[in-house]
Amino acid sequence: MKNILITGKNSYIGTSLENWLMKEPDKYKVDTVDMKDGSWKEKDFSTYDVVFHVAGIAHIKKTKENQDLYYKVNRDLAYETAQKAKQDGVEQFIFLSSMSVYGIENGVIDKDTPLKPNSAYGKSKIEAEELINKFIDSSFTVATLRPPMVYGKGCRGNYPRLVGLALKTPIFPKVDNKRSMIYIDNLSEFVKQLVDNRSGGLFFPQNAEYVNTSEMVRLIAEIHSKRTVMTKLFNPLLRLLNISMVNKVFGDLVYDMSISEYENDYKVCGFRESIIEIEGIRK
């Protein structure tokens, strides 16, 4: 049996992983710990085989006043947690990083793409990676994940915004774009396999296919019996509005598929099936 500690109580990804692993209670024992105060420092990590560090901040608007918080939580807390895990004899540390470490909004990311984070979130994540990797040795394995957008039932971020548009907007731009995304069940299965194999290194899990934003909105609307007209009339305006939010929704941003292929298949749910699973429940 693998004993796993998830650092980040009530986090979306952490809770989802716990539920995924608890389908096999004879193989995994999962605990979570709240990282919002210093009490976690008194917890004994030595009983765990794996620490999965998901505690962090992402979906808050950055201001001058809260910029330091990104570094305190996403970098310093991650470093301190990894340090404690190593000192207490934990064998594997899994760190949830981000695609944001590349600092690009359009393009294809492959194994040679340089790291150029342009936000406090991306910078804090890559600095955390660098600090944590210093702990790696024969007795302490570090697995770093840089997933693209994670979506699933109850998630935060861009997906619920797209759902809102799909349900309220009768007309939507028809854009032929591609986005790398990962369904929460696929991510949970990927982490499970990392745990099973005590894998270390840098990982880029994503769905088996790229996602088209217009098709996602159309499919969500269809499941809810809403009719959305797709039109290219707005496309020239979208090209002129070269702003971050438009790029995040309609731009092309993908991982090269070759860097997301691993020995074991973790893609347990296809894109269409994932949307049906999420929105079919919501109806």
Predicted confidence (pLDDT) at residue 281 exceeds the cutoff of 90: no
Please state, rounded to an integer, the average pLDDT across all residues of the chain: 92
Question: What is the percentage of the chain residues whose pLDDT exceeds 90?
Answer: 80
More confident residue, 169 or 116: 116
| Helix intervals (H) in the chain | 12-21, 67-70, 78-87, 120-133, 158-168, 184-197, 213-223, 235-240, 244-250, 271-282
**Token pair recorded at residue 142:** 């570090």
- Contacts of residue 112, defined as CB under 8 A and 6 or more positions apart, other chains included, come to none
pLDDT digits (tens, 9 = 90+) for 140-159: 999 999 999 999 999 988 89
pLDDT in tens, 204-244: 999 999 999 999 999 999 999 998 999 988 777 766 666 66
Model confidence at 58: pLDDT above 80? no
Axis crossing angle, helix 158-168 with helix 213-223, rounded to the nearest 10 = 60
Q: Which residue has the higher pLDDT, 127 or 158?
A: 127
3-state secondary structure of 191: helix
What pLDDT, on the 0 to 100 scale, is given for residue 240?
A: 62
User: 2-148+182-206+256-264: what CATH class?
Assistant: alpha beta
Say what the pLDDT of residue 107 is: 95
